[in-house]
Chains A and B, each alone.
Chain A
């Protein structure tokens, strides 16, 4: 069986929406952060697949920068989680409503 670009895009789409479902259905802020990582990774798969099938290195470069941004995002995100936990003693996002009025 031959694997085409569409197969990779389908895989990326399925993984992306599993991440979306994780964000929508879970209340644990750590698992929500992990689901966003999953979504970033699915975009990376699509970019690498395009890079492979179009013979261009640009997609791979983009993935490298996405990984940099993901690492920075996780560092700051987890710092925010620690601060929130120190103030609220919970990781349930429905309790994080201090910006709501």
Chain B
């Protein structure tokens, strides 16, 4: 059952990722990326990370992709302002390079023997992804990175506003 669910979501994720990088229209790309992120959220649920699945949907689906959508509509691209046709030699070269690197990396994964013992699905295991466990870890062991992340977000907000402002003093 779990295997079937994993295979299904993984298949949809790979399919929509491929569709995402091949679509001409940026809006279609964004919609396929949204489908990919939904699949990733279901994979997090299969792995027992329910809180991360929720965060994935809220942050990626609700914030990042909406931001992309806003920018595409703000730019209001016409036919001539879209990307130019890349030289076919670069396109083939990029594709061959990507597939080559993928085969090398995947062959290493496939040849690696399974070192981690089989995990029995247990109540205690699936409790690890719950929000109370994550929150406890976030405010004890990981409190310093948590604060630094806040500073990073502040810097990003100030940077984005400063960059996109129309007339700079």
Contacts and interface: CB of A to CB of B under 8 A. Distances in A.
Interface of A: 1-11, 13-22, 24-28, 30-31, 33-35, 37-38, 41, 44-45, 48-49, 51-55, 57, 60-61, 63-65, 67-76, 78-83, 85, 89-94
Nearest to A89: B81
Nearest to A82: B164
Contacts of A70: 59-60, 64
User: What's the dominant secondary structure at chain B's contact region?
Assistant: helix
User: What's the dominant secondary structure at chain A's contact region?
Assistant: helix
B169 interface: no
Given A15-B17, A79-B163, A20 B101 contact: yes
Given A6-B109, A26-B83, A37 B64 contact: yes
Interface residues of B, number: 84
B56 to A, nearest CB: 7
A76 B163 contact: yes
A24 B21 CA distance: 10
A82 B13 contact: no
Contact of B149 (A3, A31, A33, A68): A68
